[in-house]
Structure 1
Amino acid sequence: IVGPIDGNTDAEVSIVGENDQSCFTSGEFAPATFCPPSNDEACNATPIFCGDTIVQNYQGATLSETCGGGSGVADVWFIFTADGTQTYTIADVGPGFFDAVVGLYQGDDCGNLVSVAPCADSPESYSVTAAGTYYFYIRPWSIFTTNLTGNVSLTCTPFDCPGVGNIGDACDDGDAGTVNDEISADCECVGTPQVANDEACTAISLACGDSLSGLSFDGSTQSFDDACFGSGTGDVWFSFVADGLQVYEISETSSSNVVVDLWIGDECGDLTNVLSCSDNPETLTVGTAGTYYFRVRPFSTATTLAVELNCIDFAANDEACSATALACGDTLSGLSFAGATQSFDDECTGSGTADVWMSFVSDGTQTYEIAEISSSNVVIDLWSGDDCGNLTAVTDCENFPETIEVIDAGTYYFRIRPFSTATTYAVTLICTDFDCPDLSNNIGNACDDGDSNTVND
């Protein structure tokens, strides 16, 4: 038996025969396996105190906690007690080529710890101010660094405000009417008065034509965790009642970068989402009667907002059954999407939420070419049918080109929808005699020559 030999050293070993001492051998010996370090488990964590820097060897350590990335399979533990009077920062401090994953846990029972913060690879440190017993977990990131040593330090710094905490830390000022309480530069716990329309049930009521500007997000909190983009964490609410007799267009009109939602319901505490997470455009349009709630949230750091509610008469051709009838040669320009609503949820690309309709009748004796000809970015569909309420799609979701030709007789309905924020459109209907009147068709079009032995007619 050779050993015990410290896991971080090599040894010169000589073996001498018991009966014949002239029979001996010697050489360098490096142990193949190592006993685990004393702090291999949380319940045997090494105590560390303010100002300490401890050199740690990982050879022989086992894996007691699966935490973070990397391929390392050995970890060790340190323990310290915070008294609540200063900031405690515990860290892996090198050497520079040593990469580790760290975690911080808390609890009075070493066998039943609670994670204080997610495991981290960068930075490899944590700071705490609350009193309690903490356990610092450290694991080499890679199996190739397990045979290296690392350094763990604990730095303790007095609070900016003794007996209170650090400037900028969260606190509780004891006032239920304030939010976002934090320690001020004067070492006082100060909160921001909660904004009046912080929740749907305290939404600011809007009427047609209202325009509110210079509003602030100060004092707002997050009503719920949403799935929208951005890091903003406060929101405010507005409400309006639509009578179903006109189009209601509600917008966030400031230069701030915000995200907006629209909700509907008779009970402010039980709303149904109409549209969520709209960042561009920040304008939502509805025509159906009901009580609506408009939620505005900063995308990231916006501090101000503005809101406007406009009410517009329905567009005359807002639905297929009220489509504007076109005749050959008609060109209509400078038309507006104002007052238009979405006839149905389509599968087209783009974020536009309104559409208008045109109609024409093809007699089957010429080519009918209908097109949206403005510079606006739009999406078009063509439908056919004798009943405007029961149409069949001919083609849909055309974005480029915005021109469709038909030769078959029938009644057609042309739908135009903004791709995103287009406000105007123009349309034309051109009718051209067939190249081959006797065939009621054009050169190059598909046909049927009546011969079953031919293809590509």
Structure 2
Amino acid sequence: MKKITLLCIAVMTFAFSFQAKAQCDYTIELTDAWGDGWNGVSNMDVLVNGAVVLDDIGLAGGSIGSFTFTVNDGDDVTTVFNAAAVVGFPDYADECGFRILDALGNEVFTTNYDAFGGPPADVTTGTVTAACPACSVPDVSYTVVDNCPVDDGFTVEVVINDIGTASGVTITDDQGTAASAGLSAGTYTYGSYLNATPVVITVTNDSDGTCATSSATLTFDANCPPANDDFANALPVACDDNVTGSTADATLDEATAPGGGGADVDAPNVWYSFDSAVQGAGDITLDLCPSAYDTSLLVYTGTSGNLTFVAGNDDNNAACGGCCQSNLTFQANGTDTYFISIEGYNAGNVGDYDLTVTCVAPTPPPANDLCANAEALALTVTTAGTTVGATQTGTQEQPTCDPFGVIADVWYSVDLTLSSNDLNIITAITDTSDQANVAVYPSCVADEASSLGCSEGNGGETLTVNALPAGTYFIRVWSDGNAPVPPSSGNDRTEGGFTITVDATLSVNSFENANAFTYYPNPVNNGLQLRAQKDIQNVTVYNMLGQEVIRTAPNAVESTVDMNGLSQGAYFVQVTIDGVTETVRVVKR
């Protein structure tokens, strides 16, 4: 009976010992000293008690990788490394290494782990015997969280998913931060730490100090992007502001926004905003001349993903006194908010910038800025005008000869009294503008369909519209935009002063057939050709001051008036046929 009792006790003791045998996870870390993987992805087996638990593992790329496998307390761990399977054997086999970590992260075996030194040695029987802790290691993950945009430091977010067998755990670091004890599962923040500080976080079972887990080395080694790195975080600027900064740590956004002025959105950029509803309308100059790198500058209205181009400049050598910084001027309307993108010429151009904002109040528009307030012109009288301060055309259609320009226009009217009129219009530049374009309309509707004539180019214009019936006509004079505020912006606009002269003569087609004549060319360079059905008795030429400059008496049906010696400009030519005198206007070039 005693023997039977002792046998039962022995069996129960053996069963208890077997059931209490601890189980845990070991880790094998594979490394490559060159950083390009093991040059073969099936190089190694891991065995536990002679049975393969990790078959044909390898490091496909990079410098480190890991695998976990389950062991019981007392298990024998071995490895088989097939050096010949390494592509390029034997030359590349010495890049390979590995180590084995126990359940607590302690290194229990290493070979050629972090340096060149020959093919790694295998773990042989009896070298690594699994030892699992009696406690359960806490399950923890770690995340580095930067402090941007406050500063370049960082914190560590410690997520305790499971405290294992502990009643509580303690978090510590290797930087002297006060320990946090008695913690349960949850998320905890440790830090803040200075940029580039190497930090190791440890979570320890409060009941068993040997049951702990530690992070790898954690750090944040980078500079934060600028606070105004993105369009959504554009910083406000105002008139007379000077702001400095850097695009060195900026990123690129709004890359699909339209470009212009030699600039486009293709480099790391920062954003500013200019609220013209607060700052007022005017000519706004953005100056990056003191900047320390090759800049580009763009101005927009609109919203993210739907920006409208206003102005742009890559290099303004004239304003900056050399290459390669930006300077531009745009006209703020007093209503919109304008968004300013500072960037480099291309993705490789980043650096320190220096931006100054200068505002000049707008020039009041001329009295005849609108067609409804058109200034009346007297025939043959030269009148001075200007497009300085003239506004965009608004709802009126573009002139037929300038359908895409930014139209800053003024308006004139002229009354024609003859039954059929040849209307002659001459504009001449008098100061800063290089344009004084001309179009004629029968009313202020001023659409393309009603345009009677149009002339657009650089310099003054000469426009003749023939056979107009008696009535009031409206003359539009424009330049392509608004004048730049010095220094030149690189996208110059061309308002300025001009003179305008109009006259009207009876259309040739209205002469009685017997006295009809033709004249050509007009404008004329050298000789004006006259042809009639009857003899031309007299021809007299007057300048715009009414002074006689040529008189001939051809007494023939054809005549050539030599105008070669006359200055450029408009002249009146009186032609007398059979006692009837008619006057036409010609332009000498």
TM surpasses 0.5: no
TM-score by length of 2: 0.35
Larger of the two Rg values belongs to structure: 2
